[in-house]
C-alpha cells in the first residue's frame, strides 16, 4: 500500500522466508490445513497476496506463507499495509481470521455447486477444502431432501393383517428366549431372563 495513497494497493513479490509471522498469532494452522492450501496453490497458483507491515511482519496470510514454504515457492505476492498502526494491524489480523468464519453456507446451494463440479468432471474436488467424505454426505443429504434416493428397498412393507405375536408373548427358541415386550420395563426384563444373567463373554461369528 502506497504511503502517498493508502487506498492504492501495490503488489510486491518477495521470498516467503523474508516474511516474519506474528509471535502472538492466535490462529493455529494444522499440518493438514497447510497441505490443503498447498494443493490449492498448485492447482490455482498463489493468487491471494499476503498482507505485511513495513517490517515484513505478516498481518494476514500466515497459512499461505507456510504453504508457500512447503511448496518451495521462490517468491509470493505481498501487499504492504504501511498506513496501519500496530493496534490496527493486530485488529485486522483478528478480523481476517474471524469474519469469514461467521458466514454459514447455504447447504442446498453448496450441494448444487459440489454436484456441478462432479458433473463437470473436475478431477481435484478436494482443493475446495471439502473432503470426499464430507462431499458425499452433503450430496446424499441433498438427494434425500429431493426424495431422489427413495427406492423400493427403502419402502416399509405394509403390516400383516394376521398378527402372529402380541405384547407379552414369550418365545422359546431352543436355548434362546425371545419376549415381545419393552426393554425399559424391569418386569419384562426379569421375565425374559428367568432369573439368569446375560453371558456377554461368548461371541459367535455368523458368516
Distance CA 106, CA 139 (A): 13
Its pTM surpasses 0.85: no
Q: Are 56 and 19 in contact (CB under 8 A)?
A: yes
| 189-203 average pLDDT score | 73
How many other CB atoms sit within 10 Å of the CB of residue 131?
A: 13
Q: Residue 87: which residues within 8 A CB-CB, separation 6 or more? A: none
| 132-140 average pLDDT score | 82
Q: Which residue has the cell 469474519?
A: 99
In DSSP terms, 60 is beta-bridged to: 51
Q: Report pLDDT for 204.
A: 47
40-56: pLDDT as tens digits? 999 999 999 999 999 99
Q: Report pLDDT for 7.
A: 66
How many Å separate Cα 36 from the centre of its chain? 12
pLDDT higher than threshold 70 for residue 206? no
Q: What is the band of 104 on the pLDDT scale with cuts at 50, 70, 90?
A: confident
pLDDT higher than threshold 80 for residue 3? no
pLDDT higher than threshold 80 for residue 130? yes
Give 29 or 200, the one with higher predicted confidence. 29
DSSP collapsed to 3 states, the chain: CCCCCCCCCCEEEECHHHCECCCCCCCCCCHHHHHHHHHHHHHHCCCCCEEECCCCEEEECHHHHHHHHHCCCCCEEEEECCCCCHHHHHHHHHHHHHHHHHCCCCHHHHHHHHHHHHHCCCCCHHHHCCCHHHHHHHHHHHHHHHCCCCCHHHCCCCCCCCCCCCCCCEEEECCEEEECCCCCCHHHHHHHHCCCCCCCCCCCCCC
59: exposed, middle or buried (C-beta count within 10 Å: 0-12, 13-18, 19+)? buried
Give 78 or 2, the one with higher predicted confidence. 78
Amino acid at each position: 500500500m502506497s504511503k502517498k495513497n493508502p487506498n492504492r494497493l501495490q503488489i510486491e513479490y518477495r521470498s516467503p522466508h523474508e516474511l516474519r509471522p506474528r509471535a502472538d498469532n492466535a490462529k493455529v494452522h494444522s499440518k493438514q490445513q497447510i497441505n490443503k492450501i498447498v494443493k490449492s496453490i498448485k492447482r490455482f497458483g498463489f493468487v491471494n497476496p499476503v498482507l505485511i507491515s513495513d517490517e515484513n511482519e505478516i498481518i494476514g496470510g500466515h497459512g499461505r506463507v507456510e504453504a508457500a514454504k512447503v511448496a518451495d515457492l521462490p517468491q509470493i505476492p505481498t501487499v504492504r499495509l504501511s498506513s496501519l498502526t500496530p493496534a490496527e494491524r493486530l485488529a485486522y489480523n483478528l478480523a481476517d481470521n474471524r469474519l469469514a468464519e461467521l458466514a454459514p453456507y447455504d447447504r442446498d446451494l453448496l450441494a448444487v455447486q459440489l454436484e456441478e463440479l462432479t458433473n463437470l468432471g473436475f478431477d481435484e474436488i478436494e482443493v475446495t477444502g471439502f473432503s470426499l467424505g464430507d462431499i458425499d454426505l452433503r450430496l446424499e443429504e441433498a438427494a434425500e431432501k429431493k426424495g431422489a434416493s427413495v427406492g423400493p428397498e427403502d419402502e416399509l412393507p405394509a403390516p400383516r393383517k394376521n398378527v402372529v405375536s402380541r405384547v407379552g408373548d414369550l418365545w422359546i427358541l431352543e436355548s434362546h428366549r425371545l419376549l415381545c415386550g419393552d426393554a425399559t420395563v424391569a418386569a419384562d426384563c426379569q421375565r425374559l431372563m428367568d432369573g439368569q444373567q446375560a453371558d456377554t463373554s461368548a461371541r459367535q461369528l455368523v458368516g
